[in-house]
Structure 1
Amino acid sequence: MTEPTLITTPFNAESTAAEVVKGIALTGRRAIVTGGASGIGVETARALAGAGAEVTLAVRDLEAGRRVAEDIGATTGNERVLVAPLDLADRRSVATFTAAWDGPLDILINNAGVMMTPELRTPEGWELQFATNHLGHFALATGLHPALAAAGRARVVALSSIAHLRDTVDFDDIHFRVRPYDGGVAYAQSKTANVLFAVEANRRWVGDGITVNAAHPGAIMETNLSRHLSREELDSAITTGGYTFKTPRQGAATSVLVATSPQLEGVGGRYFEDCNEGRRHVAGMFGGVADHALDPAAATRLWEVSLDTLASPSHGE
Structure 2
Amino acid sequence: MTGTTRITTPFNAESTAAEVMAGIDLSGRRAIVTGGASGIGIETARALAGAGAEVTLAVRNIEAGVRTAEEITAATGNKQVYVAPLELADRTSVAALVTAWEGPLHILVNNAGVMAPPLTRTAEGWELQFATNHLGHFGLATGLHRALAEAGGARVVSVSSSAHQRSSVVFEDINFERREYTPWEGYGQSKTANVLFAVEASKRWAADGITVNALHPGGIRTGLQRYVTEEELDRLRAQAGPNAPAWKTPEQGAATSVLVAASPLLDGISGRYFEDCNEAVAHQPGSRVGVTAYALDPEAAARLWVVSEELLAA
Class of the TM-score when normalised by the shorter of the 2 chains: over 0.9
- Listed as ranges, the gaps of 5+ residues in structure 1 are 313-317
Distance in 1 separating the partners of 2:236 and 2:48: 30
Match of residue 109 from structure 1: 109
Structure 2 vs 1, CA of residues 2 and 108 (structure 1 numbering), >3 Å: closer, same or farther?
closer
Q: CA deviation at 1:291?
A: 0.1
Decide which of 287, 290, 309 is 1:288's aligned counterpart: 290
Distance in 2 separating the partners of 1:239 and 1:21: 34
Distance in 1 separating the partners of 2:2 and 2:102: 42
The two structures have a TM-score, normalised by structure 2, of 0.97
Q: CA deviation at 1:283?
A: 2.1
Q: CA deviation at 1:150?
A: 0.1
Match of residue 92 from structure 1: 92
Distance in 1 separating the partners of 2:129 and 2:154: 27
Q: CA deviation at 1:293?
A: 0.2
The one-letter code sitting in structure 1 at the alignment partner of 2:165 is L
The one-letter code sitting in structure 1 at the alignment partner of 2:252 is Q
Decide which of 279, 285, 290 is 1:277's aligned counterpart: 279
Match of residue 206 from structure 1: 206
The two structures have a TM-score, normalised by structure 1, of 0.97
Match of residue 146 from structure 2: 146
The one-letter code sitting in structure 2 at the alignment partner of 1:31 is A
Contact 1:237–1:243 (8 Å) recurs in 2: no
The one-letter code sitting in structure 1 at the alignment partner of 2:60 is R
Deviation by residue 1:126-154 (Cα, 9 ceiling, x = unmatched): 00000000000000000000000000000
The one-letter code sitting in structure 2 at the alignment partner of 1:175 is N
Q: CA deviation at 1:181?
A: 1.0
Match of residue 234 from structure 2: 235
Contact 1:32–1:57 (8 Å) recurs in 2: yes
- Listed as ranges, the gaps of 5+ residues in structure 2 are none
Instruction: Give the 5 Å matches for 1:30-41.
Output: 30-41=30-41
- Identity, % of aligned pairs? 68
Match of residue 303 from structure 2: 301
Deviation by residue 1:37-65 (Cα, 9 ceiling, x = unmatched): 00000000000000000000000100000
Distance in 1 separating the partners of 2:2 and 2:304: 26
Matched, 1:11 2:11: yes
SS in 2 for 1:180: coil
Larger mean Cα displacement after TM superposition, 231-240 or 183-192 = 231-240
SS in 2 for 1:298: helix
Aligned residues: 311
SS in 2 for 1:157: strand
Give the root-mean-square deviation of aligned CA atoms: 1.0
